[in-house]
Amino acid sequence: MHGSTAIGLTAAGAAYLLGSIPFGLLVARCRGIDIRTVGSCNIGATNVFRSVGKAWGILTFVLDFLKGLIPALGFPGLVSITGHIPHPLLGLACAACAIAGHNWPVFLRFKGGKGVATGTGALVGIAPWAILVGVAAWIILFLLGRYVSMASIGAALAFAGASWWWYRADGIILPAVLTGLAALVILRHHTNIRRLLNGTEHRFNFSRKQPSTGSSPS
């Protein structure tokens, strides 16, 4: 039991460290840009897309997505390889730790992104049906308004509702934690919410450069 606990804690810690890797910062630095000083100053994929280039933004999204997916889906399997039986909630714990790493990365003095890309990857690994609803909501809201922040907030709300619909039969722990993660995404968008209410949030366009007060979702 003690060995399984230690391995589980190690997996959770590794998930946090993987989540802490600031891919947006590293990708932008390859182009000679400090992403923390341009655009919205956020290290997420949207700011890289806007301030560095489309291909670089897509690359950042994929890397941030994978650093959520790999711990949630792969780390429990790695624990099994050691001969220990992973706790049923280990994938969920690793997902939460990866998201926390992205939002509060130890490598950047705990100043990170908003967790949408990493959260999407993590939740694909543990709650695929609910995240499918969230992605559908994101696409619809983005196409309607072209506000990345509004789409991300709406997707979080849709995901939280879907998690109770799909997973409540297995107990309340999973949907409760998933709802908490959705709430975290919304809270991380508090400045965007303020701009939306004030009418100063900028719509996303597919040009390389956008105003510095634009939203960044991840």
pTM of the full structure: 0.77
Task: Look at residue 188 in the predicted model and tell me its pLDDT.
Answer: 84
Q: What is the pLDDT along the chain (218 residues), one digit of tens a residue?
A: 466 677 878 889 999 999 999 999 999 999 999 999 998 888 988 889 888 998 999 999 999 999 999 999 888 888 777 666 677 778 888 999 999 999 999 999 898 888 888 988 998 988 888 989 999 999 999 999 888 889 989 999 999 999 999 988 878 888 998 899 889 889 888 888 898 888 888 787 765 554 444 444 44
Task: Look at residue 216 in the predicted model and tell me its pLDDT.
Answer: 44
Closest to 208 in 3D by CA, of 28, 30, 23? 28
Task: Look at residue 207 in the predicted model and tell me its pLDDT.
Answer: 57
Task: Give the residue ranges of DSSP H helices in 21-127.
Answer: 23-30, 45-51, 54-69, 75-81, 90-103, 116-126
d(C-alpha 67, C-alpha 45), whole Å? 13
Tally of CB atoms within 10 A around 58: 13
d(C-alpha 29, C-alpha 85), whole Å? 41
Buried b (16+ CB within 10 A) or exposed e, 18-46: bbbbbbbbebbeeeebebbebbbebbbbb
The terminus-to-terminus CA distance of the chain in angstroms comes to 37
